[in-house]
Structure 1
Amino acid sequence: MEIIGRASEKDILNQLLASKQAELLAIYGRRRVGKTFLIRTFFEENLTFELTGILDGSFKEQLENFAITLTNFSKSPIPIGVPNNWIQAFQLLKLYLESINSNEKQVIFIDEFPWLDSRKSGFLSAFDHFWNSWASRRDNIIVVICGSAASWMIQNIIGNRGGLHNRITQRIRLQPFSLKETELYLKSQSVNLDKYQILQIFMVMGGIPHYLRDIRKEQSFDQNIDRMCFSKDGILRNEFQNLYPALFDKPERHIAVIKSLANKNEGLTRTEIIESCNLSSGGSATKLLDELLESGFITNYIPYERNSKDVIYKLTDEYSLFYLKFVEQSKNYGDGTWLQKSTTASWKSWSGFAFENICQKHIRSIKKALGIGAIYTEHSAWRYVSKSEDKGCQIDLLIDRADKCINICEIKFSNKEYLITKKYAEELSYKRQAFLQKTNTNKTLFLTMITTYGIVDNDYATNLIQSSLKMDMLFDE
């Protein structure tokens, strides 16, 4: 099968194949993002052994699974006996690999690695020994360890202070598809929707290959969402209940943070999250937020001209946002449910916020379209809360450039060209002036509109807007 996109990841994997020494690759990322597919497909001709951990499997069950897997790969006519412990298991794996008389690269793929490390199993220390005493000395060995529990992978593998300390030679944090990769993937499945419908699909489920695979080519965006989210057996109707427990121990606190952030489009500070979710203010809260960050569910940013103490956390996982807004509390299911919801004011408001999140994830494409791809920039948002008679305001996206310019970006989702009315023009002028006065910046300010279909050409647009970008440019990278 063809690997869609993943250019930087394929570069890393090609480097491993060309390497003259043993390589240990750690690959991690959220559930359903395509980690296993990438490794299996890319290393198809070199895959010598593959073991997948069993979720909540006992010590005995994991070892039995290892013995069955090794029997299948070695094509032994006699079933290999179940080892008593992981030291013995890795010794059996070593003997099997040594029996293969080949100078070709041998790829050992251990999937769902965290699930194998059950309490008191000794798995991690046995793997340490296997790598350090044998595999690391074989110049034709590539060991790939993979897990959805990103926080576990970071703490126990990449940040390991024991035998694996600094032993990882490469790592890949596999992200969801970009809009361009999503479009390419859907085309590979003979789904020929236009960019506007693909954008809406992305707003609901992000670039998660497993979800996108369920898009039917004969259905519109609305029909697909109706079926996938609101039908009895839709794959996204109950995915939320499985998503977080599959990644985290005691996921109730993670879900509480996700739900709290879902209610605040502008995001929350660490202190606000701790207060709203009744978390302790110590390291456990930091660990929880780091786990959600590493798994790609939330993002953080430092507001313009603030410091790290003022960091804002936002929920940016598209599916979680959509589920909590429209699916969780839905009283209606079945045909036509989404068609009805998609005409409400709630959808209009939410779609604007979802489009804003997508733009922030595609900053490289925006910079390229603005012709500033080679200029160093920092991007953030800016919010002014008035303490006097003047009104506050918020800027969706600021692109602060090293050439002493700032793009003040307004992001609007619409099913047609966006009309800048007199009232909105006054609002834009006020935002620009408020930013200029409150920040005392001496940089040149460019008002930039980012919309789905562009803006209507009128006097307000001509006099106020320096740059206008359409959704098409988000599909460039």
Structure 2
Amino acid sequence: MNFFGRKNELAELEKSYRSDKFEFTVIYGRRRVGKTFLIQKYIEDKNSIYYMASQTGGLNLERLSILVNEKLGLGNFGPVYKDYFSLFQAVGKLAQDKRLVFVIDEYPYLAESNQGISSVIQAMCDHDWKKSKLHLILCGSSMSFMEKQVLSAKSPLYGRRTSQIQLRPFTFFETKEMLEGMDKEDIAIIHSATGGVADYLSYVDKNINLDDNLINLFLKPSGRLFEEPINLLNQELKAPEVYNQIIYAIANGASKNIDIANQTGIPSGSLSPYLNNLIELEIIKKEVPYGKNSGRKTIYRVKDGCFRFYFKYVLRFQSQIVGMNGEKIYNEFIREDLPNFMGEGFEEIAYEFFEKLNREDKLPGLVHSYSRWWGNNPLEKREEEIDLLAEGKDFSIFGEIKWRNKDFDMSELEKLINKSRFAPVNQSNSYYIIFTKQNFSSEVKKLIETDKKIIGYSFAKDF
């Protein structure tokens, strides 16, 4: 399988390798995002021991002993180490004079079967491994475990790591590289529906069209993603049925705490722990208007694109899909609604493009903060919304993001300029940025060409 993206992460690992001294890297991220594939790419040409832990209790020590004995040249005649301390000492000896990469993948499974293993690794980092040439990598998919038991200040391993990589889903631009040859608009929709998760994208067939790919992935009982979000929730959380209700409510328009409570029947005062767990897993996100830290305007949105697609379309029609009517469901209810689904999807893609512009110094200056804003228009007594509000040292940027086939016209630009007056930022030096799916009207196009305060990008031409 070809390797796509992950250039920065691979460069970080190679940098650690070149140091030729003890290094300890923590890699974590949601399931299926490509952590193991990244590690395998990194160690493919290196002296290494790679072990994937399992939920098999004491068998982990036996299986890991076999790998260490092989590296020592003992084959099947080596011992099963009496404990991890002894095994890790043997690993340290292997790395005394030459570089060795030692990977424990799915580390949370190993830690579950041996409660004191993090303290043992702490002792090795402080003593036996400290002056070795070992590059230790601990990798895990359980986000809560890795953050609380490996990275947090309460962990025995706190302060020992020399680098950490949180592996996130692909950006649209990485997905575009992986699906090169497909129509760009189709790639954008697939990217949003899969959440950019590398494993899910690997099941996309570049030789068939968008409709058939979505049907094959989501709308057949044998589809790779037909039950994937439900399975992930079952692996990560207790009482998954409660979380299903909450995600379903948010995916279908309930964004405020009280709305979620009304749709699910869960008292609003009891929602917080469930919402916080979903935020921790990066399935949903909590948003407040730009310039606010918290308050009554807090809303929740589904962050993970695969969960958003699944809970908006698939779960609702699950029985019909099992009855082999998935293609009919897609043609009648889903295909025509994809532009609405892509409203949020394109917003995320536009944000990635905006970040790219910022990195490449293609904005009026360096932007230090940005997000969505919504708030009161006291003149018209209604709420206004700005898709992207950004600030630099001495300027502000107001952005509109539109995924639709019609040209972005002057009336829409005027609306953006008008509602920008109510945003809580300094407006003495304001710019306006537009991201549209297709084209701009001739009037807007002329302004973009002649007025440096008006900036415009077309997905069809510029992304």
Q: TM-score range by the shorter chain?
A: 0.7 to 0.9
Question: Aligned pair count?
Answer: 452
Partner of 2:38: 38
Q: Equivalent residue of 2:161, what SS?
A: coil
**Do structure 1's residue 227 and structure 2's residue 216 form an aligned pair?**
yes
Return the letter of the residue paired with 1:326. Y
Match of 2:58 among 57, 60, 73: 60
Structure with bigger RCO (C-alpha 8 Å, 6+ apart): 1
User: Higher mean Cα deviation, 59-68 or 31-40?
Assistant: 59-68
Partner of 2:384: 393
Match of 1:261 among 250, 258, 264: 250
Partner of 1:92: 87
Structure 2 CA distance for partners of 1:163 and 1:352, relative to 1, 3 Å: closer
User: Higher mean Cα deviation, 427-436 or 167-176?
Assistant: 427-436
Q: How does 1:161-180 map to 2 (within 5 A)?
A: 161-180=154-173
Q: Where in structure 1 are there 5+ consecutive unaligned residues?
A: none
Match of 1:358 among 349, 365, 371: 349
Shift of 1:394: 1.7
Match of 1:380 among 371, 374, 380: 371
Structure 2 CA distance for partners of 1:168 and 1:276, relative to 1, 3 Å: farther
Q: Distance in 1 between matches of 2:425 and 2:122?
A: 56
Partner of 1:443: 428
After superposition, the CA RMSD in angstroms is 3.4
Return the letter of the residue paired with 1:455. F
Partner of 2:21: 21
Match of 1:237 among 220, 226, 238: 226
TM-score between the two structures when normalised by the length of structure 2:
0.84
Q: Is the 8 A contact 1:150 1:291 kept in 2?
A: no
Structure 2 CA distance for partners of 1:194 and 1:2, relative to 1, 3 Å: same
Structure 2 CA distance for partners of 1:438 and 1:240, relative to 1, 3 Å: closer
Return the letter of the residue paired with 1:40. Q
Q: Distance in 1 between matches of 2:439 and 2:360?
A: 13
Q: Equivalent residue of 2:441, what SS?
A: coil
Q: Is the 8 A contact 1:70 1:93 kept in 2?
A: no
Structure 2 CA distance for partners of 1:48 and 1:59, relative to 1, 3 Å: same
Q: Distance in 2 between matches of 1:314 and 1:160?
A: 30
Q: Distance in 2 between matches of 1:253 and 1:136?
A: 46
TM-score between the two structures when normalised by the length of structure 1:
0.82
Q: Is the 8 A contact 2:66 2:75 kept in 1?
A: no
Return the letter of the residue paired with 1:173. Q
Partner of 2:199: 210
Return the letter of the residue paired with 1:239. E
Q: Deviations over 1:324-354 (max 9, x none)?
A: 011111134344543443443x333222222
Match of 1:150 among 143, 147, 161: 143
Shift of 1:149: 1.1
Q: Where in structure 2 are there 5+ consecutive unaligned residues?
A: none
User: Higher mean Cα deviation, 43-52 or 108-117?
Assistant: 43-52
Return the letter of the residue paired with 1:198. I
Q: Distance in 1 between matches of 2:139 and 2:364?
A: 33
Q: Distance in 2 between matches of 1:22 and 1:241?
A: 40
Partner of 2:292: 306
Shift of 1:214: 0.8
Q: Deviations over 1:73-115 (max 9, x none)?
A: 555343555445xxx13413432552x4873310000000011
Structure 2 CA distance for partners of 1:228 and 1:294, relative to 1, 3 Å: same
**Do structure 1's residue 329 and structure 2's residue 316 form an aligned pair?**
yes
Q: Equivalent residue of 1:234, what SS?
A: coil
Partner of 1:429: 414
